[in-house]
Every structure is written in C-alpha cells, then in structure tokens.
C-alpha cells in the first residue's frame, strides 16, 4: 500500500480546472494499491460545501511566517507520524513553497511537485525560491509540454525529473443532448432557440481575459444580428463586464448566467466555444468544447496547441489579436458545415486522447515507479 498525502492550498468556489482534476484523481485512485489523504493549508470556502473522496485535514496555515506556520508544521508532522506517508504530492503556490520543507523534515521518501500554469503569478522572488527548493522535489508533474518546458527553463528542473500527464476528461458526461434540452438551456440564458451562440466557460478573472470577448461581441452583432454571446463563470470582473456590456448597448446579446452546474450539457447549447486567456497550461474548457462536438477558437498560449489541431478541430489565434479572432469566429458562424466537420473531428480526438482513466493510471504508474526508486 502506497500512502500519499496531497498538500494543497485550499479549495475555493467556483472550482477551477486544477481542483476538479485533483478531485477526480483522489476519487479514482485504486484503493487496493493507494491510500490518499488530503491536507489543505486553510479553509477558503469550498471545504464546507464539498464532500471530499478521502480523509481530509485542515492544517490551519494562513501565513508562511508567524504562529500559524509553526502550528501548521506541527500538525503536519503529527499527521505524518500517524499515517506514515510514502509520497507527498504538492499543488498550488503556498504548498509548493512550504511543502518541500515539511516533506524533507518528516523524511517522506518521495516529494512530487505540480506545475499547471506557465508561472504568470510568479514574481522574480517566487522563481528564485522555487529554483532553490527544486533539489528537494523528487519529481514534477506538468499537465502540458509547455508547462514542462517553462518549469525546466525557470526552475532548472532536468528533463529526467519532470513528466507530462495531460488532463483527464469524463467523456461519459458529454453524451449528445436532445433538441428540446438544448432549447431549454438557451431559454434559461434568455437566448432564442435558433440564434447563433458563441460561448465561453471560464472564471471571470483577468488572466482569462473575458473583456476581450465582450469587446469583440459588438463587431459580431453588427454582422450577425441573431448572434448571442454567453460567458459561463463567476469572478472578480463581473461588475466591470456588466458595465462594459451596458456601455456597448449589448444587454440583449451578451449574457452572464454565472457558473454552469453542468458544463457538459450547457456547452452543447453553444455553436462555437472560445478561449481568450492571456496564459494557460492545458485549458480544460477547450478539451470540453471538443468533447461536446463544438469547434474551438482559442488564443495560442501555453498548451492550447497541444489540444487544438489548427484548421481541423478549431482555430488558434495570436493572443490579443482582435482581427484574427474575429475572422476565425466569423468563418465558423458563416459555415454550419465547417462547424459540424470540426465538431465531429474534435469529439473523436478529445475522447481518444483525454481519458480520465488514462490520467489516473499515469499518476498511479508514476507513484509506483518513484516509490520503487526510493526504496532502491
């Protein structure tokens, strides 16, 4: 039995792609071989609303300095004494800073790091610290080749100590919905049944750049009067987006329904799925667009090109290039046959490459290999 402690900062609502991926991993690990335990640094909102699929401990760390750090360190040490962990798997910013020290201090044989972005939150001091802590990390898991390359470049991690495990997708959730169900979803958004819909699934935060889509919407509506734009998500930019929508006179055409309770179905009420992010490693939303049979138009950042085959399952445009974005979206809006062909190709591709079972099995194989190496 391999005992693994997952040290993570917190779970916040609405859940992001990383949180959903780790919840799926914790739920699906083979309990005959692995015994997971989730150690959260702090309570942030979702902890009281979620039913975690494994034992969970709140460590109570709210600052990397001061009494809470001392108390959290002692709590982690006590947890390890009781559980005897073989592997510590770290995820998110603070866990990546303090987790290596805890794991080394407790003599946990294997420490696994996680890189699921391109370091857009990292300041120079963060990169220096992560590079200094790198020798304490046995192995790092990245969810895209782009994130792996960035980690090797900025943190000095050798290629032999980093693996790429792509995100997983529960493709059973993306079974085609009926025309009536599609109409009902659109009605819930205030969108006419036969309108053309450009949709986005993303938290309303600056890095996702939802303002880019809202500003572009005025061009699309002028050319396609039946067009509606739907942004599924919540976040700090909601008020700013509402103000911009009103200033552009787009209240009837741009909709902010909030977080989707069932994105696998809601995406099927789109005609096109878009991603306007300034930085991504492996955007789950794009994988979901393809799995739902919707062509994707995405900014060419990070690992987006590892998901979309340009001109086959969708289009990649240079980040921030309004002209290219408008041309690609307009091409798809003009041609329902092209949308159907790209959608069919994307569905086949996503289901074949982004299996949730594949993601879990690759983690399990890595854990087993790292533990065997540690024993040797």
Cβ count within 10 A of residue 162: 20
pLDDT in the model for residue 80 = 97
The runs of H, that is alpha helices, within 163-304 are 179-189, 210-223, 238-247, 263-266, 284-291
pLDDT score, position 86? 97
pTM metric for this prediction: 0.86
Which range, of 2-11, 100-109, 127-136, averages the lowest pLDDT?
127-136
194 and 156 within one domain? no
Reported as a single tens digit per residue, the pLDDT across 317-352 is 999 999 999 999 999 999 999 999 999 999 999 999
| Extended strands (E) in the chain | 2-8, 34-40, 56-58, 87-91, 110-115, 139-142, 162-164, 196-201, 227-232, 254-258, 272-275, 296-299, 314-317
The CB density around residue 181, as the number of other CB atoms within 10 Å, is 13
> If 0-12 CB within 10 Å is exposed, 13-18 middle and 19+ buried, where does residue 154 land?
middle
Does pLDDT of 49 surpass 80? no
Query: What is the C-alpha separation between 311 and 182, in angstroms, rounded?
Result: 26
- Give the 3-state secondary structure of 50-71: CCCCCCEEECCCCCCCCHHHHH
How far, in Å, CA of 240 to CA of 209, rounded?
12
One domain for residues 185 and 334: yes
Q: How confident is the model at residue 111 (pLDDT cuts 50, 70, 90)?
A: very high
CA 72 – CA 79 distance, rounded (Å): 10
Q: Are residues 18 and 164 in the same domain?
A: yes
367: confidence class by pLDDT, cuts 50, 70, 90: very high
Q: DSSP assignment of 106-134, as one string? A: TT-SEEEEEE-S-STT--HHHHHHHHHHG
Which residues span the domain enclosing 322? 171-353
Beta strands 296-299 and 314-317 are: parallel
Q: Is the pLDDT of residue 93 over 90?
A: no
Question: For all residues of the chain together, what is the average pLDDT?
Answer: 92
The arithmetic mean of pLDDT across residues 241-252, rounded, is: 96
pLDDT range class, residue 50, cuts 50, 70, 90: low
| Residues comprising the chain, all counted | 376
User: Contact, 327 vs 190, CB < 8 A?
Assistant: no
Same domain, 15 and 102: yes
* Residue 376: predicted pLDDT: 84
Residues 120 and 220 both lie in one domain: no
Q: What is the pLDDT of residues 204-246, one digit of tens each?
A: 999 999 999 999 999 899 999 999 999 999 999 999 999 999 9
Name the pLDDT band for 122 (thresholds 50, 70, 90). Answer: low
Are residues 179 and 258 part of one domain?
yes
Per the CB < 8 A criterion, the answer to whether 296 and 290 are in contact is yes
The pLDDT-based confidence of 314 (bands split at 50, 70, 90) is: very high
**Which residues fall within 8 angstroms of residue 247, CB to CB, at 6 or more apart?**
none
Q: Residue 355 and residue 169: Cα distance in Å, rounded?
A: 5
Co-location of 196 and 321 in the same domain: yes
| Confidence tier at 34 by pLDDT (50, 70, 90) | very high
Q: Quick check: 91 and 5 in contact, CB under 8 A?
A: no
Ranking 84-98, 109-123, 127-141, 284-298 by mean pLDDT, the lowest is 109-123
Q: Is residue 371 within 8 Å of residue 84, measured between CB atoms?
A: no
Q: What is the CATH number of the domain that holds 148?
A: 3.40.50.2000
**How many distinct structural domains can be found in the chain?**
2
The percent of residues in the chain predicted with pLDDT above 70, rounded, is: 97
d(CA 33, CA 27): 13
Going by C-alpha positions, the residue among 21, 161, 192 that lies closest to residue 92 is 21
Q: Are residues 10 and 93 in the same domain?
A: yes
Which of 94, 90, 100, 105 is closest to 63 using CA atoms? 94
Let me know whether 69 and 133 are in one domain: yes
Residues 184 and 292 in one domain: yes
Whether 242 and 371 map to the same domain: the answer is: no
Task: Tell me which residue of 336, 353, 354 sits closest to 295, measured CA to CA.
Answer: 336
Q: Is the same domain home to 279 and 229?
A: yes
Q: Tell me the three state secondary structure of residue 153.
A: helix
Is residue 120's pLDDT more than 70? no
The number of angstroms, rounded, from the C-alpha of 67 to the middle of its chain's C-alpha atoms is: 33
pLDDT computed for residue 343 by the predictor = 96
CA angle 237, 273, 327 (to 5 degrees): 95
């Amino acid at each position: 039995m391999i005992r693994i402690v997952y040290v993570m900062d917190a779970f916040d609502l609405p859940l992001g792609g990383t949180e959903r991926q780790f919840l799926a991993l914790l739920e699906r690990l083979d309990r005959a071989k692995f015994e997971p335990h989730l150690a959260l640094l702090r309570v942030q909102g979702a902890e009281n609303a979620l039913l975690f699929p494994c034992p969970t401990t709140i460590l109570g760390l709210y600052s990397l300095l001061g009494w809470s750090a001392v108390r959290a360190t002692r709590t982690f040490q006590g947890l390890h004494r009781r559980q005897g962990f073989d592997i510590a798997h770290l995820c998110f910013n603070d866990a990546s800073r303090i987790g290596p020290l805890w794991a080394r201090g407790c003599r946990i044989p294997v420490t696994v790091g996680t890189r699921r972005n391109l370091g857009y939150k990292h300041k120079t001091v963060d990169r220096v610290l992560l590079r200094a802590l790198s020798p304490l990390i046995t192995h790092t898991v990245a969810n895209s080749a782009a994130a792996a390359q960035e980690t090797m470049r900025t943190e000095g991690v050798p290629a032999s100590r980093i693996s790429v495990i792509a995100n997983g997708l529960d493709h059973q959730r993306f079974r085609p919905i009926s025309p009536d169900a599609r109409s009902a979803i659109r009605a819930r958004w205030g969108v006419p049944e036969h309108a053309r819909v450009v949709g986005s699934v993303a938290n309303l935060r600056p890095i996702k750049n939802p303002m880019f889509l809202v500003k572009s919407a005025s061009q699309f509506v002028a050319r396609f009067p039946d067009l509606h734009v739907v942004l599924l998500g919540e976040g700090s930019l909601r008020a700013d987006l509402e103000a911009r929508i009103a200033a552009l006179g787009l209240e009837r055409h741009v909709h902010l329904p909030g977080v989707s309770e069932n994105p696998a179905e809601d995406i099927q009420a789109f005609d096109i799925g878009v991603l306007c992010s300034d930085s991504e490693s492996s955007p789950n939303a794009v994988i979901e667009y393809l799995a739902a049979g919707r062509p994707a138009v995405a900014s060419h950042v990070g690992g987006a090109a590892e998901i979309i085959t340009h001109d086959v399952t969708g289009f990649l445009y240079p980040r921030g290039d309004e002209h290219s974005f408008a041309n690609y979206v307009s091409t798809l809006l003009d041609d329902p046959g092209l949308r159907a062909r790209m959608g069919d190709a994307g569905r086949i591709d996503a289901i074949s490459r982004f299996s949730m079972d594949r993601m879990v099995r690759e983690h399990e194989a890595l854990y087993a290999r790292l533990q065997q190496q540690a024993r040797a």
